[in-house]
Amino acid sequence: MQQTQDVAPALQSRINFVRGCFNDPDALPATYYAALVGSALYTGPEDISRILSRQQDPSKLWEAGRDGLPAWSIYGSEDKYVDGEGINSILSQHFQNFEAYRIEGGSHTVFYENEDMFVKSLIRFAKRVQGCH
């Protein structure tokens, strides 16, 4: 998304990215799809470069995880962009209070395409963290 100076491939790569976030992008409401694509197209090449190349220092986050900060990971088994199992492998090494939830068949946008399962998992995690059962 950041390597070409040719406008058409640059714009198409952003549209492809948005479409790749969903299992069935053609089923999205047109206004929602247009808003997502519009956001992707609006982001300039310099911003995309910063987003993709910014160095991260997770040391304070890992420290908080060792000190008991709860962490929750939810991911779709069909996510084209994020390796949920890989992320969980890393997070579980640093968070003593870690919970992961996999949505079978879910895409990158489990919060949208699998809203009920997403909300139920989030509520269950929040209740556990707060000591409610």
Q: What is the pLDDT of residue 59?
A: 97
Q: Are residues 32 and 75 in the same domain?
A: no
Q: What is the pLDDT of residue 68?
A: 95
Q: Are residues 67 and 88 in the same domain?
A: yes
Q: What is the pLDDT of residue 124?
A: 95
Q: What is the pLDDT of residue 100?
A: 97
Q: What is the pLDDT of residue 27?
A: 96
Contact 33, 59 (CB under 8 A): no
Which of 53, 74, 90 is the endpoint of a domain?
Answer: 53
- Helical H segments across 30-114, by residue range: 30-42, 45-53, 59-66, 84-94, 110-113
Residue 104 lies inside a defined structural domain of this protein: yes
Q: Are residues 21 and 67 in the same domain?
A: no
Contact 43, 34 (CB under 8 A): no
Q: Are residues 26 and 87 in the same domain?
A: no
Amino acid at 37: V
Give this prediction's pTM: 0.82
Residue 1 lies inside a defined structural domain of this protein: no
What is d(CA 122, CA 64) in angstroms, rounded to the nearest whole number?
A: 20
Q: Are residues 44 and 84 in the same domain?
A: no
Find the domain containing 71 and state its range: 59-130
> How high is the mean pLDDT in each 10-residue block of the chain (133 residues)?
69 94 96 95 86 92 96 97 96 96 97 97 95 74
